[in-house]
Amino acid sequence: MRTFKPIEEHHVGGTTETRALTAAGGESSRPAGICGRPPGAGRGGVPRCSMQSARSAFWASHLALSVMLEVALNQVDVWGAQAGLVVAGYYHANAALDDQSAGPLASKIAGRIAEFFPGAVLIMLDNQKLVSQPHVPPVIVLENHGLRWVPKDKNLVMWRDWEESRQMVGALLEGRAHQHLVDFDCHLDDIRQDWTNQQLNTQITQWVGPTNGKT
């Protein structure tokens, strides 16, 4: 197990959300995720990584607690290792509708992850595009360039089965599935609560299976 170093405390207001990401090789059947196996080589020898699953860390009020965040990241790392996955980044949703910036907190957390996985990405949610039936993925994919996180070359970001994913995202939003998500904060309050959200993931897998002709 890798140990993630504590992150300096930052106090953040609003309803900002942070999720640890993991990534895997092969096709992704989970549309909103990032969890996976070490990347293979893509075209021209460029490393590629297929994002498959996301694990919730904390809502804004507890992002300031570096020890709790360190524990959460380590738990995600252990969970991923057991599934043959790596922590490949994380995604961040700002509280303000028109704020797409990667602030100090987002950059610092992503930077810590990049220390262990150099190809890690920081995915910012584009709140204005987060509607029930989005026509394009409502995210901005960033990569690390020294001390800055800059938009990744769009030619290197591929979305598999986006139409299927779009329909699923719309259904999840309309069904308010996000209200049933368990983050690590909830798990620390009551360890019986499943921070990996397997029940929801099973529901998504069952939904995707018949569509892809799988059993």
Residue range 43-102, pLDDT digits in tens? 444 445 555 555 555 544 444 457 777 788 888 888 888 888 888 888 888 888 889 888
156 vs 114, more confident: 114
Compute the distance between CA of residue 183 and CA of residue 169 in angstroms, rounded to an integer.
19
In a domain, 208, yes or no: no
In a domain, 76, yes or no: yes
Phi, psi (degrees; rounded to nearest 5) at 188:
-70, -30
In a domain, 69, yes or no: yes
Residue 65's pLDDT is: 52
In a domain, 205, yes or no: no
Count of the separate structural domains present in the chain = 1
Give pLDDT tens digits for 135-155: 788 889 999 988 889 998 877
Residue 50's pLDDT is: 53
In a domain, 8, yes or no: no
Residue 28's pLDDT is: 29
136, 129 contact by CB (below 8 A): yes
In a domain, 129, yes or no: yes
In a domain, 10, yes or no: no
Token pair, residue 172, equals 């999840």
Which residues, including other chains, have CB under 8 Å from residue 53's CB and lie 6 or more apart?
22, 24, 30, 33, 34, 35, 36, 85, 201
**Domain assignment of residue 165, given as a range:** 17-188
Residue 10's pLDDT is: 31
In a domain, 6, yes or no: no
Determine which helix (DSSP H) or strand (DSSP E) holds 199, and give its type and residue range: helix 198-211
In 3-state terms, what secondary structure has residue 202?
Answer: helix
Tell me the CATH number at 183.
3.40.140
Confidence bin at 34 (pLDDT 50/70/90): very low
pLDDT value at 12 more than 60: no
124, 137 contact by CB (below 8 A): no
